[in-house]
Amino acid sequence: MKQSTLNVIILNSVLAFVYAITSIISQEFGVIPPGNATAIFASSGIAVVAIFFFGYKVVPGVMLGSFIGNYTLYLRLNELDVTVFSLTGVIVAFAIGIGAAIEGSLGVYLLKRFSDAKHPFEDVRSVWVFVLLTALASCLVNATIGSTSLAAGGFIPPAVHGDVWLTWWLGDAAGIVILAPLFIIWRYLPKLSNDAQTVLEAVFSFIALMGIGAVAFIGGFPIEYLLIPILVFIVLRFGLHGATLGVFLISGFAIWGTVNGNGAFVRENVNDSLLLLQAFIGTVMFTALTLSAEDKERQKAMREVAETNRTLEKRVIERTQELAIAKEEAESASRAKTLFIAQMSHEFRTPLNAVIGYSDILQMGMLGDMTPDQMERIGFIKQNAYRLLGLINDTLDISKIESGKLTLDESRVDTQHFFDEILQGVKSLTAKKQIAINTVYHPNIPERILIDAPKIQQIVVNLVGNAVKFTPEGQITIEVGKKSETQWFLAVRDTGIGMSQESVNTLFEQYKRVEDETTKNIEGTGLGLSITKQLVDFLDGKIEIQSVLGQGSVFTVHLPLKSL
């Protein structure tokens, strides 16, 4: 015989023995006089606990235990000797045994099927499943089979069949309600912190519980309701362990008292007393379990929230680090780009220096006289070299602006003097065209203003350069004036070819030149205006364009007026 088979047989035998003993004790002590109905049938609880822990292989033990218990009861009730064989007794006890087996199996099946199979009292839903299905529903089975068997066997008069059925049902249910949670929860010892306060709380709350239980059910002073706050405290402080143990103790007092004719549940009619007792125990356990489950769910939710918070925090930290790295990489890339462009600019300028230098030397006749044709061509070489230089400068400017290297460089300047100097500088731009250029100072412009002179100069030079490009002949005017107490403006007005509104809209986009019939012969990188726009933005200003095709354009830059 295999070891495991032997184990199962031993297990079943032990269970049968325990079940039978418990049922005899239940019948012996749990009976409320003058009847023979059992108040709390503990064996039904034992059966559920055993099947829950060991599985369906212990069902035969339940059946056997129930058979022994009931056959013994039959013999006792009929005052028969153990040696006497009664076929009726065997049949009735066997039927009840079958009922007990079905009741226990069904109860455990439903509990495991509809709640957390390992931890069936951890949430409110599981508590409902336990009370409604495991305790109440499955106990209908044996109550029906048992009471019917007793009636059929002639052991109870048909008149009390209904009453027996009811007490049987509720007695079995109460046995399950009290014992199953107690054993299932207490299979693990409670994890209590062993600090003095917790221990004191546990000791005093249980002393209080038992004290009140004793007064209510032994002393006969009806203060059962005082058990509720104590029980609530125990549940909240000591969880399911406290709840199951507390209810077990209360039930003990209630059964003891009621059986001995003490306490609020004692009635003339036995069945009434039983119903009150069972209802009380059921209610107390249900309340305790629900409260505990609710508390557990809340704690679980809080743990989840805390966990989520931790995860979030971790993610935020990770993301911040990633961003810092990305930022560092971007900045490093930007620095590398700026350095690269500066280096390239240097590399471009060196050969340009040779081209322009030799052109100058030849043009200045340092190496002998040249024919006018040769001189003109050398002029073309120089023009193109300077155009290339313009491209390089623009690229360098854009790179500076994009890498955020711009710094504010403000100083006080004499307004008219400053713009007159710029005017002298830009006059060379118009040298080859029939263009007059002048400045107009509005009388309200302050004599001295605080400005970033190099940037304003670059803005004016760019705008005038642009105006020259698009003005075949005519007039360019630089206007400077005060717009309000907080703003001044500079405008560059030309009498050039002008632009359509559509062209105005795309004007400041990098590398996007207005391309059409009128502009195809005009040189430029398309970067100049974009640089101008970015410089104006940097100075917290605004640039505005009015243009009429064929009549000319006005570029107006509005800038904050900084008082001295």
Partner 1 sequence: MEQLQALVVDDNWYNCDIFRIALEKAGYIVEIAYNGRDGLALLQTKPYRILVIDLQMPGIDGFGVLTEIKDSPIRKTMYILVVTANAYMATEELDDLSDMVMYKPVNITDLTFFLERVKRMI
Tell me which residues touch partner 1 (CB under 8 A).
342, 345-346, 349-358, 360-361, 364, 366-367, 385, 389, 396
- Shortest gap between Cβ of 538 and partner 1 (angstroms)? 18
**Least gap, CB of 320 to partner 1 (angstroms):** 33
Cα atoms in the Cβ-side hemisphere of radius 13 Å centred on 252 = 13
Residue 234 or 527: which CB sits closer to partner 1? 527
Whether the Cβ atoms of residue 104 and residue 51 lie closer than 8 Å to each other:
yes
What's the CA gap between 129 and 132, in Å, rounded? 5
Q: Which is nearer to partner 1, 313 or 360 (CB)?
A: 360
Report the residue number, 403 or 518, with the smaller CB distance to partner 1.
403
- Residue 131 near residue 108, CB atoms below 8 Å: no
User: Between residues 360 and 376, which has the closer beta carbon with respect to partner 1?
Assistant: 360
Residue placing its CB nearer to partner 1 in the complex, 167 or 399: 399
| Eight-class DSSP state of 429 | G
In the chain, what's the furthest Cα-to-Cα distance?
153
d(CA 27, CA 73): 8
DSSP H helical segments within 403-483, as ranges?
415-427, 453-469
In this structure, which long-range contacts are made by residues 329-337, counting pairs with CB atoms below 8 Å and at least 24 apart in sequence? 334/402, 334/403, 334/404, 335/403, 337/399, 337/403
CB of 347 to partner 1, least distance (A): 8
- The helix (run of H) or strand (run of E) holding residue 395 is helix 372-402
Pairing status of strand 473-482 against strand 434-441: parallel
The answer to whether 237 and 206 have CB atoms below 8 angstroms apart is: no
Query: What is the smallest separation between the CB atom of 545 and partner 1, expressed in angstroms?
Result: 30
Nearer to partner 1, 355 or 522 (CB): 355
Q: How far is the CB of 353 from partner 1 (least distance, A)?
A: 4
> Nearer Cβ to partner 1, position 112 or 377?
377
Closest CB 476 distance from partner 1, rounded Å: 24
Give least dist CB 389 to partner 1, A: 6
- Least gap, CB of 363 to partner 1 (angstroms): 8
Residue 393 C-beta: closest distance to partner 1, Å: 9
CA-CA distance, 34 to 43, in Å (whole number)?
Answer: 22
> Exposed, middle or buried, 427 (CB in 10 Å: 0-12/13-18/19+)?
middle
Nearer to partner 1 among residue 187 and residue 346 (C-beta): 346
Comparison of 279 and 361: residue with beta carbon closer to partner 1: 361
User: Quick check: helix, strand or coil at residue 241?
Assistant: helix
Question: What secondary structure, in 3-state letters, does 82-95 show?
Answer: CCCCCHHHHHHHHH
Rounded Cα distance between 407 and 401, Å, is: 10
Beta carbon of residue 562, minimum distance to partner 1 (angstroms, whole number): 25
Whole-number minimum distance, CB 364 to partner 1, in Å?
Answer: 6
Question: What strands, in cross-sheet order, belong to the sheet with 473-482?
Answer: 434-441, 473-482, 487-494, 552-560, 542-548
| Closest to partner 1 by CB, 351 or 379 | 351
- With respect to partner 1, which residue has the nearer C-beta, 184 or 385? 385
* Contact in structure between 171 and 40 (CB atoms under 8 Å): yes
